[in-house]
Amino acid sequence: MILGIHDGHDAGAVLIDRGRLFAVNEERLNRTKKYRGFPALSMKKVMEMAGAEPEDVEIIAVAGIFRKQKRLLELEENLRTVFGREFKRKVIFVEHHLAHSASAYYTSGWRDALAVSIDAAGDGLSSSIYIARDGEMIRIAQSTYLDSLGDFYASVTELLGFKPMRHEGKVMSLAAYGKPTYDLSSIIELNGLSFDNHLGVIGVEATRKLAELFDYPLRHAKEIALQMKRGKLEGKFQKKAIEIAASAQAHLEKLMEELGLELRSRNLPLAYAGGVAQNVKANAVLRHILGDDNLWVFPAMDDGGLAFGAAVFVNAQFERLDGRWKPARLEHVYLGPAYGPEEVEELLKKEGMEFEEVDVSFITDALVDGKLVGFFQGAMEFGPRALGNRSILADPRNERVKERLNVALKRDVFQPFAPSLLWEKAGEYLEDLGGKPNEFMTMSYTASESFRELAPAVIHVDGTTRPQAVRREINPAYYEIIKAFERKTGLGAVLNTSFNMHGEPIVCSPEDALRTFRKAGLDVLVVEGLAVWRQG
């Protein structure tokens, strides 16, 4: 039994028990978004889900190596408290980028692949490229934290008044509203398989330097960002912010295109993770170069997936020693806590709420009637995306539903919503699909003309969409909802956004779901087949 933990930004824990996987991030349990620290609750939760005790854990795979003395002593004390005085016998540290790359390679299903990690920084590096063969990973290229592509994009994020290391997706979304007007090749470029940062600085110093280069009022950036959040995209500084975002996104895509062309010559598929892999538009550029079936983006690609990477890396090494290792594809990420209907019924009775047992037709009728439906079932998704088990659903045919959702969830109005669609409809709805559709919302596609007309609420301003293709055998209950919606409307897709208020983690428990349902003022909440309605 191997326990993987990440003690740091996006803390979490993963347990591997004879092929069974259990995974959850600390934020989902302590309700602190992007929690930084020791994953005490998630560590306890994965052991509880596996029916394991601390003494059952044979190896503790810790993601990340370089730690300040105080942090290392805190980590050791926390582990000693749970596992006893001899805990050090169980601990194996796994370097940050090795954990990222391992999370992608060992879930890709490929025996031979390139494994790539790109982010802001970790253990002194910002990117790593490995040749992976027969379960062994050999690093062939890297970039230091000073030559960081992720830090470049984070600095642009901060420059525009958003939170770096958290709101990079907002910059990507904003970029679609304008055209790139700045050539950023003098700031950072690709050199072989590594990056060169010509600014010479990182972090807040890079942000200040970018403010000078762009002549952007850094002191007013948060105020400008707040105006854009509320929908004011006109005006001198808003226009400039959009041009900067578009230029940064275009340059990122250019660099990923150059890297993709370099990697394609090695004739191996690409397994990819790290914070930069959250950029679905740049991922689409890689997909166009490599092909749909030659790119795998690990669904928990950010630091929230490091515990997973550390655990699967150590697990694979022991399997290799025993001659048992073989490639395996991760079929789904429903790896978190689950709650039974009895538990839900008890909660609703305690809260004095009226409820009734409902079926698929009830949910689809509610969607067709324009209702916002909180939908909660089964094991929680691992990673940043809600994939039908902790989701808010709506009718994608009605573009006005976006405004309702933005107000309800306090979202930025310029950010798009995404669809969950039937697996067999992907070829019809996605114009640039060249292989198997994406099941984890890690990729952007160009929507077909018919899909743009049928589902305007899930199409971004540039005509792209970030879909989840749903297979019946993977999530039968969710598939049946979409199928029933198709029978009623002719559209085999629903709007699916994560079940959380903006700035909060996705809900984990029925209590979380009920709280968010009330706060957001959703119309209907369906938890494990039991429905409640908004009061008043």
Output the 3-class SS for 223-246.
HHHHHHHCCCCCCHHHHHHHHHHH
Region of residue 73 (phi > 0: left; psi between -120 and 50: alpha; otherwise: beta): alpha
State whether residue 419 is helix, strand or coil: strand
Q: What is the pTM of this model?
A: 0.97
- Per-residue pLDDT at 536: 60
Element (H, E) at 402: helix 401-409
DSSP 3-state of 339: coil
Q: Helical H runs in 265-359?
A: 280-290, 306-321, 341-350
Q: From residue 485, give the alpha-carbon distance in Å to each of 366, 367, 491, 493.
A: 10, 8, 7, 8
CA distances from 174 to 4, 19, 69, 130, 180 (A): 36, 42, 41, 33, 12
The whole-angstrom separation of Cα 129 and Cα 359 is 48
What pLDDT, on a 0 to 100 scale, did the predictor assign at position 535? 77
Cα separation, 215 vs 234, in Å, equals 18
Answer for the pair 67, 8: CB distance below 8 angstroms, yes or no: no
Q: How far is CA 226 from CA 148, 229, 239, in A?
A: 28, 5, 14
What are the φ and ψ backbone dihedral angles of 118, each rounded to 5 degrees? -135, 125
CA separation for the pair 408, 416 (Å, rounded): 15
d(CA 22, CA 312): 12
If we measure between CA atoms, which residue out of 421, 432, 488, 502 comes closest to residue 458?
A: 421
In a 3-state reduction of DSSP, which class is residue 198?
Answer: coil
Listed in order, strand segments (DSSP E) in 54-183 are 59-63, 91-94, 112-122, 125-133, 136-144
Q: How far apart are CA 311 and CA 62, in angstroms?
A: 8
Q: Is 329 helix (H, G, I), strand (E, B) or coil?
A: strand
Name the DSSP class of 160: T
- Cα gap 509→36, rounded to integer Å: 21
Task: Compute the distance between CA of residue 358 and CA of residue 341 in angstroms, rounded to an integer.
Answer: 12
Cα separation values, 107 from 60, 112, 212, Å = 20, 12, 43
pLDDT mean values, one per 10 residues, the chain (536 residues): 97 96 98 97 98 97 95 97 97 98 98 98 98 98 98 98 96 97 96 97 97 96 95 94 98 98 97 98 97 96 98 98 96 97 95 94 97 98 98 97 95 96 98 94 98 98 98 98 98 98 97 97 97 85
Question: Up-side HSE of residue 234: CA atoms within 13 Å toward CB?
Answer: 0
What angle (nearest 5°) sits at the alpha carbon of residue 90, between those of residues 86 and 93?
Answer: 125
Tell me the sheet residues that pair with 108.
Answer: 329
